[in-house]
Structure 1
Amino acid sequence: MPDHSEQADETRERSAPTPVPARLFSHRGFAVFLTARTLSSFSSQVQAVAVGWQIYMLTHSASALGWVGLAQFMPMFCFTLVAGHVADHFDRRFITAACQALEACGALVMAVGSLGGWLTPGMICGMVALFGTARAFEMPSQQTFLPALVPPALFARAAALSSSLFQVASIMGPSVGGLLYGVGAGICYCVCTVGFGLASVATLCMRLEAPARVRRPMTLETVMGGLHFIRAHPEMMGAISLDLFAVLLGGATAMLPLYADSILHAGPTGLGVLRMAPALGALLVAVIFARWPLKHRAGEAMFAAVAVFGVATIIFGLSRSLVLSVVALAVLGGADVISVVVRGALVQLRTPDDMRGRVSAVNMLFIGSSNQLGEFESGMLASLIGPVEAVVLGGIGTIAVTLLWMRLFPDLRRLDRLDDIGPAR
């Protein structure tokens, strides 16, 4: 017989007016998960500011910024699908903690190299590739934690809260990184070392109950299982590929060091403010979503948000004012959160637990492609036609992709409630 009390509880959870239900924190490991993710995100943001400014000061080249993006992308491209198989067959908590420990060691090497004065652009790209490898294995495992910690009825609010803290880290990280860079890049990397180390310890302390998994040998079929699953569900494929092409084309953030130095004349502190701006907008939207979750027309909201992302990219590209640039980036970041929440609900709630690692790996591969490969594309295009032209052209491309995807993926456009999404086979 159906459990009517459970259905009633779910109905109350859907209609609860509380911004972030206290019940979220009653689920074991949720608070520890938030702590570990926030520490890791904060350290990554500090490192991004230090790497971007350091390599630009060493080379004064837009293409060098593009090569940093490629160095991040290639390990993700090579290892992410394998990492998804590993996440579905081994202890996800240990995998994540080990990767964060490796990132701490890499940051320590960069700190010593910067303080000693022997860190070259080539070495920086090499270390960035090491971080890309660690992230390739870390993210598919970490992305599976949230649906294992909270029930589906609370997932949207839990995701919004997690995104809020991520954005807080993304606000604090660039501002701290920009300020610390005035003392020296080595100090930035020392902070990253501590942050990644603490994140690793917190992840190991997380109490996570997971169902027993049947270990299968690694074959082409098992490695590609996540991709086959996504292709079988058009709305999921549409959401992931929309993010891929929208961010790939609209990669304005790759040009921030160049904009801060040569166009806005704002220096490393201005770079920190520019990197902080998308997170500030994203935090505002995430807090709104935690209070008022997206209940209807989720697909339409996602398409509208990506179109706004493109418009904000164009405004940033044309801006010569630091204030206008910050506002445009804040709008860009806020629009991105809507896409993240819808895509995250589809990927995590539609996917059975035994497939979450591989499906998350494909999702992270697409995200990594859009971010890191987008940085490479933006850097190369900027060196050919100029940074302003490259950013504006990217924003126009994002809008064009949005309109095309609305026709190609009608199931995604018609997506309504996120809390009605359930596992599929």
Structure 2
Amino acid sequence: MSGARQPLPSWALNVLMPAMNVLLALFVGGLAVALIGENPIEAMRVLAYGAFGSGYGLGFTLHYATSLTFTGLAVAVAYHSGLFNIGGEGQAYVAGLGAIMMALWLDQTHWVFVLVGSIVGAMTLGALWAAIPGYLQAKRGSHIVITTIMFNFIASAFMSYMLAQVITNPGANAETRTIAETGRIPLLSEYFEFFKHSPVNIMLIFGILALIGVYILLWRTKLGFKIRTLGQNPEAARYAGISAVSIIVIAMAISGALAGMMAVNEAVSVQKRLVVGYVQGFGFIGIAVAFMGRAHPVGIVLAAILFGALYQGGVELAFVMPAVPSELVLVIQALVILFSGAMDEMFKPVLERVFGAFRSKPRTDDSTATEEA
């Protein structure tokens, strides 16, 4: 039957469908550009050039993608354990406190010590902040979505107080002092002229290591097997003797530690100080990155680069084509999230029929010859 629906191969499910969703989002965004009287093809060209056409633009794209990789991985690890962690924003925010305090403590030494210390501080506070909702879910039955939402607000209030009243730089407006010159983590532009004036830094390498590490953790270790088993079938995990309480707390702690790495990339490496609201919503965008990437490291890095390109390309678009409002880039991002999230399986029935038709075609000649014999 030529029109029969067939299950999609993994490459079509994980690559082709997301790509079609992104193209549809860009097409609808192009229609919005056309409605305001601008050339949509030129707008998309400018957006792409701004993101990838120069070392400066590519550096910004990779910098944004690094932060989104950390927050996307944070969501993915919790998701594989059956949890929906939407507290990455607050976890990254509080982790900034640990990162900057270690950096300021060590900034009279070599930048390597600042880097290591700030990573340890960020991951520790991020893990602790995320483990609390994990414990409440595991032991008290408090829904992880509700608690992580509330902890975002608590983190915002707590950090505003700390920056305004406790660790603020005298004479400054709710920010810490700047890291001393001797302890500043170098940008890649100091080694590669190609990235001149861009903020991409050594945390790009740590982002790649985090992708590899999460893959090994989830698919090559005993702990990862327990995490995925609990997420896919809690009853089977219980019969196998897997402690749901410990796995939930551990998974959330790992998730928070990964979200906290964003603090090192942004606050310590680029801004060289901690300021109010430095996370800039990247914790929430990490949710879209994780789900668009199917909670797999390969998909996450591709989605992170896409959103990083939209951020940087949008800045170039607003500069080159001032008639196109900057909010339009937010609309395109929202469309990508819409089509890749809530409507991610919109093309699935069509693709299943297409694959079913192609799989049934080779039978015609052979089956006729068999019947005649």
The normalised TM-score by structure 2 is: 0.34
Larger Rg: 2
Greater helix share, structure number = 1
The normalised TM-score by structure 1 is: 0.31
